[in-house]
A and B are shown apart, each in its own frame.
Chain A
Amino acid sequence: MGLKATARKNAIHAMLIYAVGCNGCDIEVLNALLSPRYDLEQYRVLLTWNPREADVLIVTGCVPWQMAEPLKKLYEMVPEPKAVVAVGSCAINGNVFKNMVGEIGINEEIAGPVENIIPVDVKVPGCAPRPEDIIAGAVKGVPKLMEAP
């Protein structure tokens, strides 16, 4: 393992982007990363709110049209190499907000899922996913960071 990879492995910074779901996945991600029960920080995965520091981008929510542009901008701010983890059904396929529509046919409020806007590497399904699953998903994104030159 090279010097860069060692350095990266010892300080993986995850940034949470809350692209408007229902708050459930958002708090579960915070639970997985921060809370004393599922504490990811003990494995040196740190939560950051600065996109320029981040390695892993965790996106939750179904991305309404107001959030599409900020999400793209934030993705561009994150330096290479980067991995994107889409957490929750909303981020993967839009969940009820995109798929369970009454008479309107297409819900135009929603620009998502996340894949339509930025490339996604890991998907964590569930509504809301358990913190254990979120941890597994965040770890799946790590090899992409390690293999980069």
Chain B
Amino acid sequence: MTERSKDVVVEKELSFGPVHPALIEPFRIRLFVNDEIVEDCELTINIPHRGVERLLEGLPVERALLITERVCGICSNVHAWNSVRVVESGLNIKVPDRANYIRVLINEVQRIASHLIFFGHAFEVLGHETFSMRSFLLREVFMDLMAYIGGNRVMPSVPVIGGIRPRADLTESLKRVILERVDDFEKKYLEFVERVVADPLVMSRLTGVGLMSKDEAIKYHATGPTGRASGWDYDVRRMMYEYKPFDFNVVVLPEGDNKARVVARALEVIESLKIIRQVVKNLPEGPIVNRDWVPGKMDFTTMYFETFRGELMHSYSLDSQGLIRGYKIRTPTPTNLAAMENVCIGDHVTDAVLTIASCDPCMTCCNRVEVIDSGKTRIMSEIEIVRKYGWRR
């Protein structure tokens, strides 16, 4: 809750959640409403807390992959890949080129699937079920591709330390299938986007609502398509060596309203298709995994990564036996939601849930603990809590 609510007298408080028809995921929204205008908004995001960072403490680094992949089911590959990148960078493990290409491929496939889920969710909140169903139908193409490449629709688990799983190697026939499916998808997708943009009802609901300026985006650290839709030109993919061989544009839009956030993702899908085609056409030959490494002592290493929602951080160290110490994950959704909490103030109450959904929230990754210490709310990580209060509740 912002400081503002202390001075404003509100007529009514609307409170949803944690289980509510309007919210698929468990979180709580309190909207303070005056004459149908949102005066203040409060989000509670600590319900899906599973203690992932604490679970990882003392696990062998090879097994960490199993848990980090299950942090989030929509962006599973992102967490798996970034947890692997940390140890690769810390212990100087060389990753073969072919493995890097296939990692990029599965990441972009999942990025498109994630953006299409966002359209499904946003249009459902908007009340346009046809568009929602169509984007779910389009998404099936990429779920199939993930099943072909990794063997599972949701958890492809492609990266392992030093390369990729042998199961995920691309054969010639699979390359052909990917290109065919992507071409077919692009045709259908462009038709779908044209329909959405030409729909006056949908566009009038989206345009000019939930305005976020560039300064606000930087202040709240709203990264990813959410920040780029406000004109903040920031993409971690530019700094990642894995993405160096590929040619793609970073979509930056100046408007900063809900429409921009939808359109930014729609354009990013097309950029991802470009990367997928480049991967399949330029895939180098060679080994796919480098097994020439031993787990050993590693200092704290931090790696940043551009997920589908924004900037992701994984950081940990290894002790002399190769066990994980001090795992820290920072996901983009908490900062994006903090921005949205402020952005929806001043708008009509019917648009508030749409504005919050427009940052593509994924509540499972927001595993922060809220501590109320003598009336003052503070958000802490698990490690801080354990240091201060001990593990037992």
Chain A positions within 8 Å of B, measured between CB atoms, are: 17-28, 30-31, 34-37, 49-50, 62, 64, 66-67, 70, 74, 95-97, 100-104, 107-110, 127-128, 130
Query: How far is A24 from B136 in the complex, measured between Cα atoms in Å?
Result: 14
Query: How far is A97 from B73 in the complex, measured between Cα atoms in Å?
Result: 14
Segment from B18-26, B32-40, B240-248 that makes contact with A = B18-26
The contact size tier of chain B is: 35 or more
Residues of A near B140 (CB, < 8 A) are 31, 35, 37
Is B392 interfacial (CB 8 A cutoff)?
yes
Contact yes or no, A128 B155, CB < 8 A: yes
Is B48 interfacial (CB 8 A cutoff)?
yes
Is B57 interfacial (CB 8 A cutoff)?
yes
Main SS of chain B's interface residues? Answer: loop
Is B252 interfacial (CB 8 A cutoff)?
no
Query: How far is A108 from B24 in the complex, measured between Cα atoms in Å?
Result: 25
Query: How far is A30 from B136 in the complex, measured between Cα atoms in Å?
Result: 10
Residues of B near A37 (CB, < 8 A) are 136-137, 140
Q: From residue 122 to 163 of chain B, which have CB atoms closer than 8 A to chain A? A: 133-134, 136-137, 139-140, 143, 152-155
Contact yes or no, A67 B364, CB < 8 A: no
Report B58 CB to chain A, min CB distance, Å.
4
Contact yes or no, B117 A97, CB < 8 A: no
- Of B20, B56, B59, B154, most buried by chain A (CB within 10 Å of CB) is B154
The residue from B18, B54, B58, B364 contacting A23, defined by CB atoms under 8 A apart: B364
The residue from A17, A27, A34, A96 contacting B73, defined by CB atoms under 8 A apart: A27
Contact A27 to B25, CB < 8 A, known contacts A20-B50, A22-B73, A128-B152 = no
Contact A23 to B50, CB < 8 A, known contacts A102-B58, A127-B155, A128-B154 = no
Contact yes or no, A66 B73, CB < 8 A: no
Residues of A near B389 (CB, < 8 A) are none
Residues of A near B391 (CB, < 8 A) are 104, 108
Is B103 interfacial (CB 8 A cutoff)?
no
> What 1/0 flags go to B31-64 for Cβ under 8 Å of A?
0000000000000001111111011111100010
Residues of B near A50 (CB, < 8 A) are 21
Is B66 interfacial (CB 8 A cutoff)?
yes
Query: How far is A74 from B362 in the complex, measured between Cα atoms in Å?
Result: 23
Query: How far is A31 from B392 in the complex, measured between Cα atoms in Å?
Result: 38
The residue from B49, B63, B362 contacting A66, defined by CB atoms under 8 A apart: B49
Is B267 interfacial (CB 8 A cutoff)?
no
Contact A49 to B21, CB < 8 A, known contacts A35-B136, A36-B137 = yes
Query: How far is A122 from B123 in the complex, measured between Cα atoms in Å?
Result: 32
Contact yes or no, A96 B70, CB < 8 A: yes
Instruction: List the 5 shortest-distance A-B pairs measured between CB atoms, nearest first.
Output: A24-B73, A49-B21, A103-B58, A102-B58, A23-B73
Residues of B near A25 (CB, < 8 A) are 73, 154
Query: How far is A128 from B153 in the complex, measured between Cα atoms in Å?
Result: 8
